[in-house]
Structure 1
Amino acid sequence: MTKGPVLVPVLGDQLSHGLSSLADRSPADTVVLMMEVWDETQYVRHHKAKIALIFSAMRHFAEELRERGFTVDYITLDDPANSGSFTGEVSAAVARHKARGVQISEPGEWRVRQMIDAWRESLDVRVRVLPDTRFVCPLPDFFEWAAGRKQWRMEYFYRDMRRKTGLLMDGDKPVGGKWNFDADNRGGPDADCRPPAVAQFKPDAITREVLDLVAARFPDHFGSLEDFAWPVTAAQAAQAFDRFLKTRLPLFGRYQDAMMAGADTMYHAVISPALNIGLIDPVEMCRLAETEWREGRAPIEAVEGFIRQVIGWREYVRGIYWLTMPDLAQANELDATRPLPEFWWTGETQMACIADCVRTTRKTAYAHHIQRLMVMGNFALLAGLSPQDVADWFLVVYADAFEWVELPNVAGMALFADGGKLASKPYAASGAYIDRMSNYCGQCAYDVKKKVGKNACPFNALYWDFLARNEDKLAGNPRLANPYATWRRMNADKQAEYCDSAAAFLQTLQPARKGWARG
């Protein structure tokens, strides 16, 4: 009796031809299974454009695999026989193809890994799970790096990744004599800040079909499809990144922390959605960026800042995620319980910074990292919003958000919910930071110079109220010594004025209606 083929499920964030589960497979005895399943669109109610991006990229990738000679069993969302789950589809495909085994690259998310591990019990064939070799740092190596450390600081991990890849190295020394040029990358918007357009891609027939499907099946999900122009193939992702290298990388560093109303992408690469679903290789991107510096077309601070985000921060948060799950999903060191405000979904607020961040997020499923951290994340931290509610929101609204990258950024970086395992201090800031790094405040109904009262920027009173209510947990943090010293120098009446002003603002927040994030 002839043995059947090996079934290779390829998930929506595994769209790489060099995927480990495909690397040793011959088309002659392999069936690739790709699945659009209801469960994956509904465990949180993802942004419409996020669903469309993944489905369109999957369908394009399936065509590329067929051109390479692979048999692809592709299950569309509207297939009448669609079971709605990964497990159901894998089980059915094993039987349908009389597969002798299942081979899959390790998934990015904890909950999916639990599903795959259960297949070993539920399926009557061998299930082989291979490491995801698309990352620089294998998970066992990260666990070894983290073992025994009191704090997991990204900077030291990043240096190891530089040594491992050779990026921006002269022998065993960093180019320019420094590992980190972040001090040169903190410019706010000015007269020279004129961000060029990012690459956009007109939907082809495959993408238009997906857009119609998503519009019909997910009409109540957050977000818009009207401006969908994401790269959905590796070729398009390469074009988009080349545009970044040629038009925005030279000023990326200078303005990477700056925000401007209506300038939704600033000088950022806007490549993270394509990167996180596998359409472009992270190390290859970094080598191309390094070439721009070595050939004199981009300054070292811009290139180093970009490379640090990719092989430093991105690799680091992946390791933190797998090291701390599943506990990280429930972390709440500061006992924050306030529900998400409705304006996080609607954008209907007089705070110009939040209104603009929600606008671009609804329109494009994107906002750059300072908008995420120092506007949305900062507000959530200061207002004491529930970490689980905030994590759900971030997972829903951004096209690049998968739990492995989103959750450490939210729970650890933005909200300090992990108690400082990831970040050395809470990223708390008053309105003065937003004023310095953006042009939002000049068009805001609130006065950023005013500290308390009805028309004062809410971030100002919320900042001091945050420090006051968390003093027992945060006063010992050496990086907060100066703010707490300032707080203690205030007289009791001034302290009470800040806390009362914060309380009055917080009482105006209307909790979000149910069903935005989870059905």
Structure 2
Amino acid sequence: MNNQYQTLRLVLGDQLNASHSWYQDKSEDVLYVMAELHQEATYTVHHIQKVQAFFAAMQGFAAGLKQAGFHVLHLTLDDTAEFKNLPEMLTHLIKKFGIQQFEYQLADEARLRTQMSEFCQSLEIKTMGFEAEHFYVSDQELGQYFKVNKKHRLEHFYRTLRARFDILMRNGEPEGGQWNYDKDNREKLKKQDLSDVPQPLLFANDVTEINERIARHNIKTMGKGDNTLLWPINRKQSVELLNFFCEVCLPNFGRFQDAMTGQLKGLGEDLGWSLYHSRISFALNSKILSPKQVVDTAIHYYRQSNGKINLAQIEGFVRQILGWREFVRGIYWANMPNYATLNHLDTTRVLPSWFWDANTKMNCQHHAISQSLDYAYAHHIQRLMITGNFCLIAGIHPDEVDAWYLGVYIDAIEWVEMPNTRGMSQFADGGIVGSKAYAASGNYVKKMSDYCSSCTYKVTETVGSNACPLNSLYWHFMHRNQEKLGNNPRTAMVFKNWLKKTDEQRAAVLNQAETYLENINNI
């Protein structure tokens, strides 16, 4: 490696986009830097598989750049331990290599974007920031769609992007005559459906050396992980998983995208965690795959399927990638940094201890949390309507919820995590993301899963020693937030039903909820 370079280009762990315009020329005086940093491994407590995946993906990306002829410096935790943060490391490298120009891609987390901005202002050399060249909507365009503190709705934004990018459109109209097929995509897995659930495509990436580094540097993590990582960590594996999803899972993806089951665990295999989901979120959020590639590939399979993949399945998937993913990013950047402080419902409770070990008698929470700890993954309904719903109706502080979600999931980067948790899940933003608080009793869990049939608690009971905690906690939530939620037309009927109960009935329900809240670590 040369001792002198003109330009240093920083590549962060979620900027693994091999198609970026940076790589169209191989200037001899450009040094690309990728680094495992204590700063990034410890800003929250991450799942062990999340740290493994990012470190392994970075290592592979750096090796690929080197093989392609670029000058690359890949630093491990061993190499960066002496630096307290990213700016200190960069300052050292700029001096060491005689750098005259510092270039970086705009970070997708506010804390890193602020850190980079302040660092660049401190430099006397030239600096340049570049777009990530990943999303459908560029940084420069976000302001056209999103305004600070304004309530935005996915459907309008989604339709606008469908038309703009001509996705599933015919002559300016949505293919099939309607924009959204969500009502067709809410099926519960029946007993006869379980035998058809496919085996997930898993990988076997050796992360032994990464684990040794994590241990050597005392990086605190959570969850389960060994020396083999099942997640895709490079473009070849990510494309393979995308194609597997389109071939095997997409025909039933929409139908069962909200479904949950505990019956596929403990039978020599565990299929209940994967079902028909794509599991490409880590590959997307690390930018190994682009959303356009994902959408184009899925639509190609849909077109070639001869009806095996129907419109409801492909539309539901496109809505997640083109719609929701781009939508929450817009919400994040329009409202940060204030968004991270919002607590519209004034919640104060600490996360129950069983979020860290799944040791709860509530079967729905046990399944969702144990799966999260086992795989660093849960699908969107498990996140929103199981763990998220409990946190909402129990009144957990959004800072607590954010920290857990940001750490436990392999795909969690703040721009996508925070609007989903603080906004959609916890209604802490007062409705900027969602039109109502997504609170639910045990009946929703019974409707969309088989968790209730083998639970200690009885989903049909609201009061009593074996009553489902979600039932009384739901009414307790609605009761204490009546002033803030009572005028919402989407919840008005709920409050009418609550007021129909007698004073004695309401008191019994509220007392039951208070008992559960007082013993929240033991329910």
Q: Is this a same-fold pair by TM over 0.5?
A: yes
Question: What aligned pairs does 1:373-388 form with structure 2 within 5 A after superposition?
Answer: 373-388=384-399
Q: What are the superposed Cα offsets for residues 258-289 of structure 1, whole Å, 9 maximum, x if unpaired? A: 00113011110011011100111111111111
**Partner of residue 185, structure 2:** 185
Gaps of 5+ in 1: 512-519
**Partner of residue 472, structure 1:** 483
Q: What are the superposed Cα offsets for residues 384-404 of structure 1, whole Å, 9 maximum, x if unpaired? A: 000000000000100000000
Structure 2 residue 89 is matched with structure 1 residue 92: no
**Partner of residue 31, structure 2:** 31
For the 8 Å contact 1:168–1:174, the answer to whether it is kept is yes
Question: What aligned pairs does 1:186-201 form with structure 2 within 5 A after superposition?
Answer: 186-190=186-190, 191-193=192-194, 194-201=196-203
**Partner of residue 443, structure 1:** 454
Residue 164 of structure 1: how far off its partner (Å):
2.2
Residue 219 of structure 1: how far off its partner (Å):
6.7
**Partner of residue 230, structure 1:** 231
Structure 2 residue 489 is matched with structure 1 residue 485: no
For the 8 Å contact 2:152–2:432, the answer to whether it is kept is yes
Q: Which moved more, 1:297-306 or 1:47-56?
A: 297-306
**SS of structure 2 residue aligned to 1:124:** coil
What is the CA–CA distance in structure 2 between the aligned matches of 1:148 and 1:172, rounded to whole Å?
Answer: 30
What is the CA–CA distance in structure 1 between the aligned matches of 2:404 and 2:425, rounded to whole Å?
Answer: 13
What is the CA–CA distance in structure 1 between the aligned matches of 2:410 and 2:116, rounded to whole Å?
Answer: 24
Structure 1 pair 80–376 and aligned structure 2 pair: CA distance change class (3 A): closer
Structure 1 pair 246–409 and aligned structure 2 pair: CA distance change class (3 A): same
Structure 1 pair 379–486 and aligned structure 2 pair: CA distance change class (3 A): same
Structure 1 pair 19–85 and aligned structure 2 pair: CA distance change class (3 A): farther
**Partner of residue 252, structure 2:** 251
What is the CA–CA distance in structure 1 between the aligned matches of 2:151 and 2:122, rounded to whole Å?
Answer: 40
Which amino acid in 2 is paired with 1:26? K
**Partner of residue 142, structure 1:** 142
Structure 1 pair 39–353 and aligned structure 2 pair: CA distance change class (3 A): same
Residue 463 of structure 1: how far off its partner (Å):
0.7
Residue 146 of structure 1: how far off its partner (Å):
2.6
Structure 2 residue 303 is matched with structure 1 residue 294: yes
Which amino acid in 1 is paired with 2:204? K
Which amino acid in 2 is paired with 1:280? L
Which amino acid in 1 is paired with 2:290? D
Structure 2 residue 172 is matched with structure 1 residue 168: no
Name which of 305, 315, 334 aligns with 2:345.
334
**SS of structure 2 residue aligned to 1:79:** helix
**Partner of residue 275, structure 1:** 284
| Number of residue equivalences | 507
What is the CA–CA distance in structure 2 between the aligned matches of 1:215 and 1:178, rounded to whole Å?
Answer: 53
**Partner of residue 158, structure 2:** 158
**Partner of residue 46, structure 1:** 46
**Partner of residue 317, structure 1:** 328
Residue 139 of structure 1: how far off its partner (Å):
2.9
What is the CA–CA distance in structure 2 between the aligned matches of 1:80 and 1:398, rounded to whole Å?
Answer: 25
Structure 1 pair 147–46 and aligned structure 2 pair: CA distance change class (3 A): closer
What is the CA–CA distance in structure 1 between the aligned matches of 2:35 and 2:299, rounded to whole Å?
Answer: 37
**Partner of residue 132, structure 1:** 132
Structure 2 residue 359 is matched with structure 1 residue 348: yes
What is the CA–CA distance in structure 2 between the aligned matches of 1:97 and 1:504, rounded to whole Å?
Answer: 63
Which amino acid in 1 is paired with 2:284? L
Which amino acid in 2 is paired with 1:329? A
Structure 1 pair 103–214 and aligned structure 2 pair: CA distance change class (3 A): same
For the 8 Å contact 1:3–1:100, the answer to whether it is kept is no
Which amino acid in 1 is paired with 2:34? M
**Partner of residue 78, structure 2:** 78
For the 8 Å contact 1:169–1:175, the answer to whether it is kept is yes
Structure 1 pair 148–366 and aligned structure 2 pair: CA distance change class (3 A): closer
What is the CA–CA distance in structure 2 between the aligned matches of 1:210 and 1:164, rounded to whole Å?
Answer: 43
Residue 120 of structure 1: how far off its partner (Å):
2.0
Residue 23 of structure 1: how far off its partner (Å):
4.4
Name which of 195, 198, 205 aligns with 1:203.
205
Gaps of 5+ in 2: 266-271
Residue 105 of structure 1: how far off its partner (Å):
1.0
Structure 2 residue 441 is matched with structure 1 residue 430: yes
**SS of structure 1 residue aligned to 2:521:** coil
Which amino acid in 2 is paired with 1:43? Y
**SS of structure 2 residue aligned to 1:478:** coil
**SS of structure 2 residue aligned to 1:306:** helix
Residue 416 of structure 1: how far off its partner (Å):
0.3
**SS of structure 2 residue aligned to 1:74:** strand
For the 8 Å contact 1:76–1:82, the answer to whether it is kept is no
Which amino acid in 2 is paired with 1:203? N
**Partner of residue 517, structure 1:** none
**Partner of residue 59, structure 1:** 59
For the 8 Å contact 1:5–1:98, the answer to whether it is kept is yes
For the 8 Å contact 1:380–1:415, the answer to whether it is kept is yes
**SS of structure 1 residue aligned to 2:74:** strand
